[in-house]
């Protein structure tokens, strides 16, 4: 069965520092990987995706993610965090014909 794990329920980072939100996946076949962000009282917003090609994917708001096939990971990163990045982040994976599966989410808090 497909699964996505986000091992950290909460990540705290000081403003201006780099941030990483971790994600590992288990799917059959080639993985299609996504990151979404959810601000309070809002739906999920698409940030970026990996389908094929370069392992480093760039997305919205300065975020990027690195696909690592050997470690089955797709960690979200940003070089310099902003207070406005504080939100709930979801990793999701799709294994071709199977349905999109989401992780439990990681709450990111950026401290001024």
DSSP codes of every residue in 29-62: SS-EEEEEEE-TTS-EEEEEEE-SS-SEEE-GGG
CB nearer to another protein: give 6 or 81. Answer: 6
103 binds another protein (CB under 8 A): yes
* Nearer to another protein (CB atom), residue 81 or residue 94: 94
**β-strand 10-14 against 106-111: which pairing, if any?**
parallel
* Phi and psi at residue 39, to the nearest 5°: -90, 160
At 84 the three-state DSSP class reads: helix
Q: How far is the CB of 96 from another protein (least distance, A)?
A: 6
Q: Map residues 25-54 to x or -, x wherever contact with another protein holds by CB under 8 A.
A: -------x-x-x----xxxxxx--x-x---
- Chain residues binding another protein by CB under 8 A are 4, 9, 32, 34, 36, 41-46, 49, 51, 90, 94-105
């Amino acid at each position: 069965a497909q699964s996505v794990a986000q091992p950290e329920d909460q990540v705290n980072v000081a403003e201006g520092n780099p941030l990483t939100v971790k994600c590992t996946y288990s799917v059959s076949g080639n993985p299609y990987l996504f990151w979404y962000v959810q601000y309070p009282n809002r739906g999920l917003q698409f940030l970026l995706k990996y389908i094929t090609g370069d392992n480093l994917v760039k997305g919205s708001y300065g975020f990027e993610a690195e696909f690592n096939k050997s470690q089955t990971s797709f960690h979200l990163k940003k070089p310099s965090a902003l207070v406005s990045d504080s939100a709930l982040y979801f990793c999701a994976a799709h294994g071709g014909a199977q349905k999109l599966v989401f992780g439990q989410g990681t709450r990111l808090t950026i401290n001024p």
